[in-house]
Amino acid sequence: MSLRNRIRALSIVLCGALASTMLLAVDARAEEAGWTVRDRPGGPTAELRLDRASGALGLSVSRAGETVLAPSPVGIVTERADFSTGLSFLGRSDRTVDEHYRTAAGKDRNRTVHMREARFRFRTGAGARLDVVVRASADGVAYRYDLPGDTGNVLQETSAFTLPEGSSAWLGAYRKDNENLFDAYTAAGAPAGEYMMQALFRTGNSYALVAESDLTGSYSGARLVHDAGSSTYRVKLWDPQVRTTGALTTPWRAVVTGDLATVTESTFTDDLAPASKVRDTSWIKPGRALWTWLAGGREAGQSLEMQKGYVDYAAARHWPYTVVDAGWYFDPAQWDVTDPDWQTHSWIPELVRYGRERGVGIQVWIHHRDLDTAEERAQWLPTLEKWGVKGVKIDFMDSEAQETFQWYDRILPETASHHLLVNFHGSTIPKGIQRTWPHVMSLEGVNGEEKKTNTARHLTTLPFTRNVIGSMDFTPGAFHRPNRPNAGSDASELGLSVLYESGIQNLAGTPESYDARPEARHFLEQLPDAWDSTRLLAGEPGTSAVLGRRSGNRWFIGGMYAGAAHTAEVPLRIGSGRWLVETLTDGPAGPVRTARTVRGGDTLSVDVVSDGGFAAVACRWSPGRTSCDR
């Protein structure tokens, strides 16, 4: 090629590159006011907008032609920079997130993640940098802040969620242990106050569950604050300042959205969380447990003989665990822990031996104050592992402060290294923790069975709120408790064991109450220890909830209704073909089992009593088959 031709070719390349650069600059200027992120057609779309006059960011979410989230403030304020205003756009980069992971517990054990992620880069007039990372999937939208420089401690977020006019809301007032009732409001009509970060809203045919994910000790827990007459719910952090050093990545602010089935079946908050930090998960075994606190209280916790009786009962039912609650150990301050034989004060090793011989593992309750220092954990955790204890139920953290999440960051790898399953009570709610730390079988964070304030409306709201975001230790099965709102419906109490998912399903009844209800006892004996998939069959928050959960080739169904007695109609969305369905409904002397043959997709008619429900199991029909028992 001649020199002239080479120069001409180079000029063409340079002109093309310059034209491309100018086109990108024009596009950036044109898009400066607004950018969209969507994973797939028909899925939710996030729109991030920058107000040119104020330099403030806002985020909205739409789905199927409906506004799910109206333009809502996005921003964060630190000691050295205000990222809520005065921002200018620097650029955008995109990537696809494709992951597959398996969990020990949850709605389903095999998860596939596909999300579109966009990183938007901004700076303040003073040059401080902020990245806003937005993700969209088929069932949700989430964003987080990434501060690449050292901008000092976080003072507040200006993040908020603004609902369209006329939206419905199901909210629970905030408590430090997340144990409060859910009730129904309009988004604008809810009383002024603070609400738990597990709020459900509805606009048209779309639902939106506000939550968070990937919360660690680098940050502070959040709640929602609502002003009277407003449709905006602001994010408030527990701590007045979040301590930071250097760069910071905040938790995800998530909106799980879709129709009600999509939201209920979603694993979005887990999908956002980091991958498992536990390499060997072979020892992690979910399962049913006989929980003896409501059955015997502190007296049971202080009695080896009573606990052996519970082990015998669990063994006969093929339940893999019993849980020994408060009372089994004295205050360690009264023990001389410098004595190498201090552990001999406990009869737990004898109970573990007794349970091992019968195929029943022992889990024990322990107070947070006895594990809140490195020295205490070094005393207790190796000892419990040496004794052969399978898990710990840690109670009374009662805080969502940054300091408390730093404690979670320490206790989680330590319990995993000692092969101890964990159930947190008096705690935060999951927030993706079960993906990252799969030995966490459950968390309380719910106004559960031991409370005396529950309502049928609350029971029918939990599957659409708290239990969406992770395992929930409600402790169903307390037939002997006269103050439960469904006390007139043993069948609905039985159904709660399916309706509510928990990696450790703590069954809270007395052996006597189970023996008095042989059909209920038989159903609980058949109940699997983990689920392969979950489907919403029917329901509306605060009114009714019917879920089907599959284990292998059998479906278990739990239903709960608030209101008058009626005949419920349940679509059997469990697969085509013929099924044998055994339903358990309320009879004059306890649950009654009825078998019938139906086709998948048919409607199952079930008679339910006032504030009642039902339980069922479905298996493939074959000639001569009369039971779904294995």
Instruction: Give yes or no for residue 517 having a pLDDT over 60.
Output: yes
User: Which pLDDT band holds residue 338 (cuts at 50, 70, 90)?
Assistant: low
Q: What is the pLDDT of residue 6?
A: 45
Percent of the chain beyond pLDDT 70? Answer: 93
pLDDT digits (tens, 9 = 90+) for 165-202: 999 999 999 999 999 999 999 999 999 999 999 999 99
Q: Decide: helix, strand or coil at residue 6.
A: helix
> Mean pLDDT, to the nearest integer, of 228-232?
97
Task: Indicate the fold that domain 287-524 takes in CATH.
Answer: TIM Barrel (3.20.20)
Count of positions (residues) in the chain? 630
Residue 276 in this model has a pLDDT that exceeds 80:
yes
pLDDT band of residue 14 (cuts 50, 70, 90) is: very low
Q: How many CA atoms within 13 Å lie on the side-chain side of 526?
A: 26
The predicted pLDDT at position 26 comes to: 33
Is residue 146 a contact partner of residue 131, using CB atoms and an 8 Å limit? yes
240 exposed, middle or buried (CB, 10 Å; 0-12, 13-18, 19+)? exposed
Whether residue 5 has pLDDT greater than 50: no
Instruction: Give the CB-side neighbour count of residue 613, counting CA atoms within 13 A.
Output: 30
User: What are the DSSP calls for 374-433, one per residue?
Assistant: HHHHHHHHHHHHHHT--EEEEE-----SHHHHHHHHHHHHHHHHTT-EEEE-S----TTH
The band of 331, judged by pLDDT with boundaries at 50, 70 and 90, is low
Range scoring the smallest mean pLDDT among 194-203, 321-330, 534-543: 321-330
pLDDT for 345 equals 72
Active site residues: 395, 450
Other CB atoms within 10 Å distance of the CB of residue 325: 23
Domain boundaries, the chain: 1-29, 31-272, 287-524
**Other Cβ atoms within 10 Å of 292 Cβ, number:** 28
Angle at 519 between CA 518 and CA 522, to 5 degrees: 85
Between CA 430 and CA 410 the distance in angstroms is 16
The pLDDT value recorded for residue 7 is 39
The chain-wide mean pLDDT, for the chain, equals 93
How far apart (Å, rounded) are the C-alpha atoms in residues 9 and 7?
Answer: 5
Q: Flag whether pLDDT at 492 surpasses 50.
A: yes
Confidence (pLDDT) at 336: 60
Strands (E), 33-174: 34-38, 45-50, 57-63, 66-74, 76-78, 88-102, 110-123, 129-137, 140-147, 154-157, 160-162, 168-172
CATH 3.40.720.10 fits 31-272, yes or no: no
**Of 222, 111, 97, 238, which is closest to residue 159 (Cα–Cα)?**
222
Torsion of CA 168, 172, 178, 179, to 10 degrees: -130
| Of the listed ranges 61-75, 295-309, 526-540, the one predicted with least confidence | 295-309
Picking from 271, 320, 289, the residue whose alpha carbon sits closest to that of residue 114 is 271
Q: Is there a contact between 545 and 464 (Cβ–Cβ < 8 Å)?
A: yes
